[in-house]
Chain A
């Protein structure tokens, strides 16, 4: 092998090592994008996803000069025999004010089951200004057969809510929580996993 060829081979080896490193880096980056996206959404409120952890009430002066209409919408989804309802469809609050609204969950079946309410806020620019002090959406809920449960949502609108926002819509969609252990306990449900 001539010196020229040896130099060339060394160059090829270097290029391959570098591009393989870049490759692995990009593959890792793709997965890193998932948490990055979440962080990004939390900072910008991009997709209307609200923080899933409780936030402390910040005592600030209530902005009496404006009212914000907050609408509540509850939605069910396939596979969960629950009914979710809200005590009031909409309320008017001042920015800075702490408000509370009751949500009621009813299990219409005889079996116990797990469910989780996934929140979404519109307009998404309001997301970061909605502080949830306590919410059923922070964790999964368990309802026994025919059980009815009322849980309050305590929230506060930040004073720095942008001026142009006059209405905030909060939508909760109830989803069943599928869990191997939970399913095993639901052995009465003889058709679990069946599809129609």
Chain B
């Protein structure tokens, strides 16, 4: 089926071409531009959905430009369960953020550029997900850096430029380190294919640790893990809110995805177990969880707080993946899914507050819940999911990670149990007061949102938020089912079971 094998390319090209058309259309009509970009995202989503039956039948979809790149390293796509799962969620979240940005962006400048680079970023992220080998993956990975850089510096203020500079140059530097790792892998085994579990099997010696370190540096930078998070808390908040949602919700996930592919496809579970690095990686994840939560508590700016919260959630994903057990990986995947929904929702809410009331600071939020009920309800649901309150999807992910830790061994499980409790507590510390403040406190006398009328954000902004909130609830309730239908096969494919 030629059509089917072309689907990944169509999924990649539709936002690319759509973005360029939208950019041109934007010079004539703003509405047309937004419509085109939404349609492009929807096309991309539908195309990815169309791939589902093939994948569910246990096949993979491959597409190669065999004659274009270096002979052994074609720019090729291969869609398996994991990329497909992530691609579905990401492209769906993109539709929402495209809808959301229609009204949100109307007060900002350079809207055409924003629209174009949002689409380009989507295109690059999808390329990263579907890449067949590390070479193609790295190409799209680097493109994402540049396209998202434009999103970060959108405001063009000195702070935005400084944050963007940090993002770009650290990203380039870590990208080069990763590039070095890729070269090492290629010279060691002569292939970069991601289809085989553990292409480095058979390589011995310290070079393995060098490769692991260099590759992870690149992936963890994009993911915003603890020692490499330094850009995240300045870059994510400074971007316009739809972009923040995309950066925190999607681009960070791209880093997590690459990290999981490195661990499970380049190295493979068996090799990592013989390298005895699992515990160190888990420790790193734990540090990230703690650090992110601790820093989030100290913040007053809502978006910065959310950004730090991302650091801690990425720690969960990394920890779950580093446990090297099926359930742990399952937890990591659910966490990716959950964080994508919840963090996008939270940033949408933060954007709604800025849009409607001009609020960026947590302390100014007293009583806002009465004026903007939908926004704050969505916020509450997402925040509760972040904390890990049972019926919501956030709980499921934590649950699986705990089970994974148990599988990995008792000391680890006890240690992780403590980390989990503490971090949930910390999450509660920074989310609960906001909720209470927003709903149950009267408006402070020097409140800056007096002029806000008691109506909520426009429909085009409210709908994406609500959809995300519903998603959080529904998938939380159905978590047992979804994990059997979707996550389990994915995990089994990744683990090679």
A, B from the same assembly: no
